[in-house]
A and B are shown apart, each in its own frame.
Chain A
Amino acid sequence: MTWLSKLTGLSLLVMLVSCSGDHNLWDCWSGFKRIKCDKPTAEQIAQKHLNNGDFSAAIEVLTPAIADEPENYARYPLLAAAYAGRGGIDILGIARKQIGSSDSALTSFSAFLPTPNTVDAETYQQDLADVASAVATLRAVPSNILTDSEAFPYSASAILELTIYQSSYSIMFLNQFIISPTTGTITVDQLANMTPEQAEQVITNLLAVGDLPQVSGNSNMQSAVSAIATTINDQPGATTKDKIAAYVATQNK
């Protein structure tokens, strides 16, 4: 083969290969196998999974990455988001709604969370466990790091995220006792299943939202969710469960 025909062939080959797809030559999964590929970071891979709605895949990427480097705190908000996403939290819906103190946090939040009437009981408990994992993941970041914007560039976002997940968990925990699985309406009938300890847990969860550090953007949400606890405590009743029943009755009007 002459130089000229080789050059012509090579030129045609470049044209054919470049027209054959849109994958990067250095891509680790679909690129050219004979060159050393360029792999995105665990955070970047996880973020891609998150935006594709594949939350379990994001958890699978981030869990070992965090185990390997527990002090890489940039991964914690993403893992929390993956748990929350798998737990059914519609984060985009919450972002759009811009839940504030003027809203009824209970109904506003519930629109973006799984409720006992939208999923079966077992799935609801799994969702609740996932949202609890989201809260636990962010609480695993040491508080001095979480609040230090110099040490942790995502500090404000992470606290805002924690506020959303803690609020979501508190309301999901309450909803399992007050929303009818068949009709989806708020009803006191469901409260028969609630133990006194669970009633106390409802208040503790709600108050935990108010105890979070204040950052830009979370104060309205904190006020709205904490107001539920205050309103419950202001209701007549001998026990916390009675007060919750009275509160639920007001929500039902």
Chain B
Amino acid sequence: MARSSVAIALGMILGAQAAHAKKTVEPVYQDPFDLAAGGASLTRASKEGTLFSNPALLHLASGFIRWIGSSTTLTLNKESVNTARKFLPKSAGGSGGASSSNSSTTDSSTTNSSTEIVNDVLKNPVRVGWGEAISLLTRRVGGAFFSRFELDLGAHEYGPAGLPQIELQTESYNGFALGAPVPTPLSWLIFGVTAKYIMASEEYVSADLVDQTQVTKYSDPKMAKSLYSQNSGVGLDAAALLFFQGSSLDLTMAAKADDIGDTQLSGDSSGPKQLKQVTSAGLGLTLHTGADAIHLAADYRDIGNAYKQPLFKRIYAGTKVTLRQHLGVAAGFYQGYPSMGAEVDLFFLRLALTAYTRELGDHPGVAPRRMYMFSLSTGF
């Protein structure tokens, strides 16, 4: 049974159909610590996230080099962790009675275990992802290569058509971004621009499990092309930052236009073909001493609602507390769901752990994915 389910999953991985746009109002790449703070990054972003959230923030770096290094992230959802934990081999002292069992008992327990795995996969979605960024950020200019990929495998005993359904979604964004702040004669006003070359693909396939022919058609190797293909194009973001600095309290306001004039993507992938222009605004307050700081931030993305997204997907808010510039904790509301995380800066090594929930549906609670993200960065 497990084998047939794996075959179905593989069959589906080979096939691809029309995509549902998933990258809408958010930056194409986000830093884990920014996600922990609810994804509100227009007025305060971390490392390479600055290029994608607001390039004007580069100008606020304390030294000439803000960050040089690489970041690797691994993402997986809570249900995957629970399932893996459930089926990991027990310790020798646990249920290790197999050696004394006869073969029929072993076969039976294997079958039960396989059925349990299938049941678990059918009830709990699996979402895994990874990301990589190599960047050099200075006070004058910044550049980053980035790559991220997420795969989501979900199944329902009752899909939208009332039949058992399996669905696979992938999201892949790779490319290069080059950004620079543009200071003005007014010390409190900074502009910023980011040019980006993006290779992207978003795939969505679904099949009724009852219909073997529907599943089989996805195993046609010719259909694999769409999954491996990516659409590419060049886009431009522009931002403005109003920064009012006090002795212990800073006020920051930001306005940003992503994908000015709509970024057109071309290629063999079914989507996305276009990243729409969205305008966003953010507000931030920072209470700080010389070494410690508390940041509060809120973003209102896609003010004109170009992507026709519900309100809960356009408001991001959260707080970051940084202590001695080496320890940070963050919490917030990402797409209306609580998020939290922590980051430790060990000079040349940064470790971050983030927990957040991403809603794949168009209403709260329709298809939430509770995600854990682990990040390891090397650099300074």
Residues of A within 8 A of B (CB): 3-4, 7-8, 10-11, 14-15, 17-28, 31, 38-41, 43-44, 47-48, 50-51, 74, 77-78, 80-81, 85, 91-92, 94-96, 98, 154, 156-158, 160-161, 164, 216-218
B residues in contact with A154, CB < 8 Å: 160-162
Distance of B247 from chain A, by nearest CB (Å): 11
Q: Which residue of A lies closest to B355 (CB)?
A: A22
A8 and B162 contact, Cβ closer than 8 Å, known pairs A22-B338, A95-B210: no
Q: A residues within 8 A CB of B262?
A: none
Which residue numbers of B lie inside 8 Å of A, CB to CB? 1, 4, 38, 118, 122-123, 156-164, 208-214, 248-249, 285, 287, 294-296, 310-312, 317-319, 321, 329, 331-333, 335-340, 357, 359, 361, 363-366, 368, 370
CA of A39 to CA of B287, assembled, Å: 37
Cβ–Cβ contact A24 & B210, under 8 A: no
Q: Are A11 and B312 in contact (CB under 8 A)?
A: no
- Within the complex, the shortest CB–CB distance from B35 to chain A, in Å, comes to 12
Given contacts A10-B296, A51-B157, A164-B210, whether A4 and B311 have CB atoms under 8 Å apart is: no
- B248, A18: Cβ atoms closer than 8 Å: no
Q: List 22 A-B contacts (CB under 8 A).
A: A11-B296, A15-B321, A22-B370, A24-B357, A25-B333, A25-B336, A26-B312, A27-B336, A43-B160, A47-B159, A50-B158, A77-B162, A78-B158, A78-B162, A81-B162, A92-B164, A96-B118, A156-B214, A157-B208, A216-B213, A217-B212, A217-B213
A97 CB to closest chain B CB (Å) equals 10
Cα distance, A92 to B340, chains bound together (Å): 37
Task: Give the distance in Å from the alpha carbon of A3 to the alpha carbon of B248 in the complex.
Answer: 10
Q: Are B160 and A74 in contact (CB under 8 A)?
A: yes
User: How far is the CB of A143 from the nearest CB of chain B, in Å?
Assistant: 18
Asked if A24 contacts B156 (CB within 8 A), the reply is no
Q: Is the CB of A39 within 8 A of B357?
A: no
**Contacts A7-B287, A40-B365, A157-B163 given; does A50 touch B157 at CB 8 Å:** yes
Q: Contact check: which of B161, B213, B295, B333 meets A18 at CB < 8 Å?
A: B333
- Given known A-B contacts A20-B338, A51-B156, A40 and B162 have beta carbons under 8 A apart: no
Q: Whole-angstrom distance between the alpha carbons of A216 and B163 in the complex?
A: 14
A8–B294 CB distance below 8 A: yes
Q: Given A15-B331, A18-B331, A24 and B209 touching (CB < 8 A)?
A: no
Contacts A11-B296, A28-B364, A91-B157 known; 7 new A-B pairs at CB < 8 A: A22-B337, A39-B363, A77-B163, A78-B162, A91-B210, A96-B209, A216-B214
Q: Cβ of A161: which chain B residues have Cβ within 8 Å of it?
A: 161-163
Please measure, in the bound complex, the distance between the C-alpha atom of A7 and the C-alpha atom of B286, giving whole angstroms.
Answer: 8
Main secondary structure of the interface of B (DSSP, over half): mixed
Bound form: Cα–Cα A8–B285 in Å: 11
Known: A216-B211, A216-B214, A217-B211. A17 touches B338 (CB 8 A): yes
Do residues B210 and A217 form an inter-chain contact, with CB atoms below 8 A? yes
Known contacts: A15-B319, A81-B163. The answer to whether A47 contacts B212 by CB under 8 A is: no
Among B156, B331, B359, chain A packs the most CB atoms within 10 A around the CB of B331
Distance in angstroms between the alpha carbons of A157 and B156 in the assembled complex: 14
Q: Which of B209, B214, B249, B336 makes the CB contact (< 8 A) with A26?
A: B336
Asked if residues B164 and A95 are in contact (CB atoms below 8 Å), the reply is yes
- Distance (Å) between the CB of A18 and the closest chain B CB? 4
CB atoms of B162 and A98 under 8 A apart: no
Distance between B41 CB and nearest chain A CB, rounded to angstroms = 15
Which residues of chain B are near A4, meaning CB under 8 Å? Answer: 248-249, 287
Residues of A within 8 A of B361 (CB): 40, 44
Contacting pair A19 B311 (CB below 8 A): no
Closest to A90 in B: B157
- Chain A, residue nearest B320 (CB): A11
Q: How far is the CA of A17 from the CA of B38 in the complex (A)?
A: 12
List of A residues within 8 angstroms of B213 by Cβ: 216-217
B126 to chain A, nearest CB (A): 16
Instruction: Please state if B161 and A11 are interface contacts (CB–CB under 8 Å).
Output: no
Question: Are A14 and B319 within 8 A (Cβ)?
Answer: yes
A50, closest chain B residue (CB): B158
Check if A44 sits within 8 Å of B366, measured CB to CB. Answer: yes
B91 vs chain A, min Cβ distance (A):
30
- The residue of chain B having its C-beta at the shortest distance from the C-beta of A55 within the complex is B158
Q: Which residue of B lies closest to A97 (CB)?
A: B210
In the complex, the answer to whether B161 meets A24 with C-beta atoms within 8 Å is no
Is B209's CB under 8 angstroms from A95's CB?
yes
Contacts of A21 in B (CB 8 A): 338
Nearest Cβ distance between residue A132 and chain B, in whole angstroms? 16
Q: Nearest residue in B to A31 (C-beta to C-beta)?
A: B364
Contact of B365 among A18, A27, A74, A164 (CB under 8 A): A27
